[in-house]
């Protein structure tokens, strides 16, 4: 004698088996669309270095790339040109390296779309400073 599965239970099992993969595809598509939109976002970034240090070497990352720009013996206050960046998963970074005999202070800032998103002061006079931000 064959055992029969009740129809309501069969319907529930069928719905669960079909709904779960459909839901996963929906989430994957939603996440993909969000990532695509985020990668198209444009931001304006400005790096600033201020303080009493005398001509530190400034280094910053341009456009979220790994290539950096080095500015030797920068006069303070120093500010980068407004950089146009694309995407939200980039790394923004600026640092100021003081000369060996310099006992001044130094501060770095990262501004994104007109808002201060990261800032640090050298903990002790004569030390360098590094700011990093990932949107």
So what's the pLDDT on residue 50?
A: 94
Return the bridge partners of 130, or none. Answer: 95
Alpha-carbon gap, residue 85 to 3, rounded angstroms? 65
Going residue by residue through the chain (135 aa), what tens digit of pLDDT does each one get? 566 656 777 677 777 777 777 666 666 665 655 555 555 677 889 999 999 988 899 999 876 666 788 999 999 999 998 887 766 557 889 999 888 788 888 999 999 999 999 999 987 777 889 999 987
So what's the pLDDT on residue 46?
A: 93
SS in 3 state form for the chain? CCCCCCHHHHHHHHHHHHHHHHHHHHHHHHHHHHHHHHHHCEEEEEEEEEECCCCCEEEEECCCCCCEEEECCCCCCEECCCEEEECCCCCEEEEEECCCCCCCCEEEEEEECCEEEEEEECCCCCCCEEEEECC
Predicted TM-score (pTM) of the model is 0.68
So what's the pLDDT on residue 77?
A: 96
So what's the pLDDT on residue 37?
A: 53
Strands 106-112 and 78-79: unpaired
């Amino acid at each position: 004698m064959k055992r029969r599965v009740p129809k309501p239970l069969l319907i529930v099992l069928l719905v669960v088996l079909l709904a779960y993969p459909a839901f996963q595809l929906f989430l994957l598509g939603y996440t993909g669309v969000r990532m695509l939109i985020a990668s198209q976002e444009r931001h304006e970034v400005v790096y600033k270095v201020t303080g009493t240090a005398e001509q530190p070497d400034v280094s910053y990352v341009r456009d979220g790339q790994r290539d950096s720009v080095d500015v030797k013996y920068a006069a303070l206050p120093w500010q980068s040109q407004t950089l146009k960046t694309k995407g939200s998963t980039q790394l923004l970074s600026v640092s100021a390296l003081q000369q060996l005999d310099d006992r001044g202070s130094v501060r770095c800032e990262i501004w994104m779309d007109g808002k201060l998103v990261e800032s640090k002061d050298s903990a002790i006079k004569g030390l360098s400073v590094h700011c990093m931000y990932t949107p």
